[in-house]
Every structure is written in C-alpha cells, then in structure tokens.
Structure 1
Amino acid sequence: MRVARNVLIVLVVLFGLFVAADRITVSIAQNKAAQQAQTTQGLSSKPHVSIEGFPFLTQVLSGKLDHVKVSAQGLAASSDGQQVRFESLHADLHGVKLSNGFRSAVADRADGQVFLTYADLQKAINIPGLTVSYGGPAAGGGARVRLSGPMLGSQLSVVSTLSADGGHSVALHADKVPTAFSALGLENQLRHQIDVTLPIAHLPEGLGLTSVAAAQDGITVTADGHHVVLAN
C-alpha cells in the first residue's frame, strides 16, 4: 500500500509538472504568435492570441494546432497610406499547420468578424463634411448607411448599401441619388465620390469578406476562408 501510495504521489507530481510546463510553453507561444501576427498583418498593436486545447505540447509535436482564437480592440491597418481603424476583431482558426521553425502558420479554415463604428467608416471614406450614420434595416439582411453633408453645392442625404465582395473590400453604393443632384445632371459626378470601394487592409491571404450587417452602433463584416495564411 505504501509503495502504491508513493507511486501515486509521484505520478500526481509529474502530472502537475507537465501541466505547468505545458501552460508556460503555451503562454510563450501565444505571445510569439501575437507578435508575428502584428508584424505580418501590419497592425498598429499586438492582438490577443489564445491557443485552445490541452495538452499544447502534443499539438506542437504533431505540427498542427486544433483551434486558435485571435482578438483585438482598436486596431488600425494601413494600406497605401490610408489607415482604416477597427473597433474590434475576432477570428477562429482551425487546423493551424506549423512549419519553418514555427515561423509559418496556415489554417485549414478560418472565420471571423471585424466591427467598425460609423466614425471608423466615415474616416475611411474621407470626404470633408460628410457624416456617416445608421441607414435603417435592409431588406433581406445586408447593411444600409446614411451619408449626409454638403456635396457639390447642395445638401446631401442619401441611403447607401454596404456590401462585401468576397475578397478584401467592401463596396458602398447609393440606393438612389436625390433629385436635387440628378435634375442638374450631377448623378455621375456625385456617385464618383460617394460610391466607393474600401479595402480592409492586411487580411490574411485566403480569408475573404462574405457579408455585412449594420446596427445602431456600427457595422459588422464577416469573413471566412480555407487555407488561410497567418504567417510566413
């Protein structure tokens, strides 16, 4: 009985040490992954990375992580000198294959959401005096926003539909140009300024924007994809 008890104690201690080593290792890996994601995707701050599942060490030995969660608040991503701010970002990555000394990571599949406030969208459109706000519910889903402010010598108030293109951009298109502009032959000139395509910079390769939804507090853009390159 004493021998069995001693063996049990040793096993419990060894298991505790294994768990401690596993948690320490995963903490270091999460921090390194967050740093790599910030560098690879050109983000203004380091995101939070959580490697799910236990034990972590056996996942590393297999070269594949079951599930990785990435989240961030108040990020900004720059593209061609333009900076688009995200209020928040959340992504779930499944089947993350590691290679090249853990410097390369590719997910079998991934899905996530980016949330932008109307102030974020307004800055991205970057038309002086133009205000962007909630445009009301859209038939069959989607996102509608209202653009208002001085334009081409008149006061603009128009509802536009915001849609995802399946790639790395969202498109804004006015549902109908007000008579005050169309009657003067200014529709094309107005649309040239307010019907715009906005790139969501530095999304991982293989991840595409699939849908957009609007609410009173902002816009949610949903993305998913396969063979998503997280770092290389």
Structure 2
Amino acid sequence: MRALRIILVVTVILGGLFVIADRVAVGFAENKAADRIRSSEGLAGTPDVSIEGFPFLTQVAGGELDDVKIGIKDYEASAEGAKGAAGGTIRIDALNAEMHGVRFNGDYSSATANSASGSATVSYAELLKAAKAQPTEVAPAVTAQVVGLSDGGNGKIKVEITATVLGKKLRPVSVLSSVTVVGGNTVKVRADGLPKLGVDLVEGRIRTVTDFEQKIDGLPGGIKLDRIEAAANGVAISVKGSDVKLVG
C-alpha cells in the first residue's frame, strides 16, 4: 500500500511538471509565431496568437498543430475603390482567424494551415471612401453625393445622400442597400430602390452615386472574403481560406 501511494505521488508530481513544461513551451511558441507574423505581414503591432489543444508538446512532435487563433487589430489591407474613388489601403478594425491543421518547421519560420475561417470588421467611415463622396451630376442642373453610411437593420446599409437642384441644396435622403461579396475580394453595395430627390432621374445615372464597390485584397496568407452584412458599427465580414500560408 505504501509503495502504491509513493507511485501515485510521483505520478502526480511528474504530471504537474509535464503540464508546466507544456504551458511554458506553448507560451514561447505563441510569442515566436506572433513575431514571425508581424514581420512577414509588415504589421505595426504584434498580433495575438493562441495555440489551442493540449498537450502542445505532442502536437509539436507530430509537426502539426490542431488549431491556432490569430487576432490582428487595425490591419491595413490593399484596396481599390470604384472608378473615380480613392484606392490605396483600407483599414480593417479587427481581423480574427482560426487556422486548422497548421504545419510548421522547427524554428516557426514557415507555417501553413490546411484551412482557415474567421471574421473581419470594416467601419462605415472606411467603406465610405469607395462611395461617390464628391458631387456628381445625375441630371441637368442636379448633382448628388453620398455623405454617410450606417446600419439600416436586417443586414442592410443605409446610404445617406444629399442633392443640389438648380443651386439649391435639398435635405438629405436615404436608401437601404444590400451588401454582398463578389469574387472573394470585392464588397458590393447596391441600393434596393432609388432616392426620392423630387426630380425625374435616369436610374443608370443615379446609381453611379448610390451603388459602389470596394476591393479588399492582401489579407494574411491569401484569406478571402466570404459573406458580409451590415452591423452596428460597420460591416461584418466572414473570411475563409485553404492552404493558408501564415509565415515563410
């Protein structure tokens, strides 16, 4: 009986030491991976990296991690707006992704995930850069421009428009617009109806103002846009990818 108690005590101690060693190792790996991602993506800040699953050391021995979560704030993605709109970059307030089946080499200089899924948030102020924010002629002596975007409810965007008719500025009007993802890298906003400006308008002309697109490219590892809907503080985008290269 005494020998059994000794074996149990030793087993518990060794198990505790293994857990401590495992957590120390995973912490080191998370920090190392975060530094590699920051360097390879040219990030201003260090991303949050969380390696899921236990034990970590047995995953390392197999050369593949089950799940790795990555969080990046204020990510600058490459962007190209609609014709006549600003391009350059677009800021993603929060980009979160969960990588599944992450294969890596010994010094974490190379890592590729079998698949990835996650979310991204873009503020309405950023998305507004792609809209026709400058006065655009939509009829003789009539100009219109987009002055604001906001949550319209039920996944719709409310597009606020002002118009000037014969030199007189009208009160702002708004339309509800549907927002979709096209081709894995383009956010498309299209008005469900036409704004009532008090004058006869050709649909094609006014839609050059109400409707617009915003490309969002250059997400980490080649992740693509999947689905999108309007939310309280901006558009909420789901992202996904396969054979996602994290670093290297």
TM over 0.5: yes
Q: String of CA shifts for 1:189-220, please: whole Å, max 9, x gaps.
A: x5445533223343234532221122334321
Report which stretch shifted further, 1-10 or 15-24.
1-10
Aligned twin of 1:76: 75
Q: String of CA shifts for 1:97-139, please: whole Å, max 9, x gaps.
A: 11374212111111111123333433565836721112232xx
Q: Equivalent of 2:212, from 182, 185, 196?
A: 196
Aligned twin of 2:184: 167
Q: Within 2, Cα distance between the matches of 1:164 and 1:122? A: 16
Scaled by the length of structure 1, the TM-score of the pair is 0.79
**Closer, same or farther: CA 136–226 of 1 in aligned 2, 3 Å:** same
| Structure 2: unaligned runs, 5 residues or longer | 80-86, 135-145
Give, in angstroms, the shift of residue 186 of structure 1.
Answer: 8.0
Query: Percent identity among equivalent residues?
Result: 37
Give, in angstroms, the shift of residue 176 of structure 1.
Answer: 3.4
Q: Which runs of 4+ in 1 moved over 6 A?
A: none
Q: Within 2, Cα distance between the matches of 1:118 and 1:163? A: 15
Q: String of CA shifts for 1:33-68, please: whole Å, max 9, x gaps.
A: 222223333444222111011111111111100011
Q: String of CA shifts for 1:76-99, please: whole Å, max 9, x gaps.
A: 314267342333332221111113
Q: Equivalent of 2:158, from 140, 146, 157?
A: 146
| Structure 1: unaligned runs, 5 residues or longer | 138-142
Aligned twin of 1:135: 152
Letter in 2 for 1:219: V
**Closer, same or farther: CA 123–42 of 1 in aligned 2, 3 Å:** farther
Q: String of CA shifts for 1:160-181, please: whole Å, max 9, x gaps.
A: 2211124123122233343549
Report which stretch shifted further, 59-68 or 192-201.
192-201
Letter in 1 for 2:182: D
Q: Within 1, Cα distance between the matches of 2:70 and 2:198? A: 45
Q: Is 1:36 the counterpart of 2:36 in the alignment?
A: yes
Q: Within 2, Cα distance between the matches of 1:25 and 1:179? A: 63
Aligned twin of 1:104: 110
**Closer, same or farther: CA 187–24 of 1 in aligned 2, 3 Å:** same
Aligned twin of 1:211: 227
Scaled by the length of structure 2, the TM-score of the pair is 0.75
Asked if 2 retains the 8 angstrom alpha-carbon contact of 1:83 and 1:124, the reply is no
Letter in 2 for 1:147: V
Aligned twin of 2:96: 90
Aligned twin of 2:24: 24
Asked if 2 retains the 8 angstrom alpha-carbon contact of 1:41 and 1:202, the reply is no
Asked if 1 retains the 8 angstrom alpha-carbon contact of 2:130 and 2:213, the reply is no
SS at match of 2:121: strand
**Closer, same or farther: CA 36–201 of 1 in aligned 2, 3 Å:** farther
Asked if 2 retains the 8 angstrom alpha-carbon contact of 1:96 and 1:108, the reply is yes
**Closer, same or farther: CA 151–28 of 1 in aligned 2, 3 Å:** farther
Asked if 2 retains the 8 angstrom alpha-carbon contact of 1:69 and 1:90, the reply is yes
Larger Rg: 2
Q: Within 2, Cα distance between the matches of 1:194 and 1:98? A: 47
SS at match of 2:120: strand
Aligned residues: 225
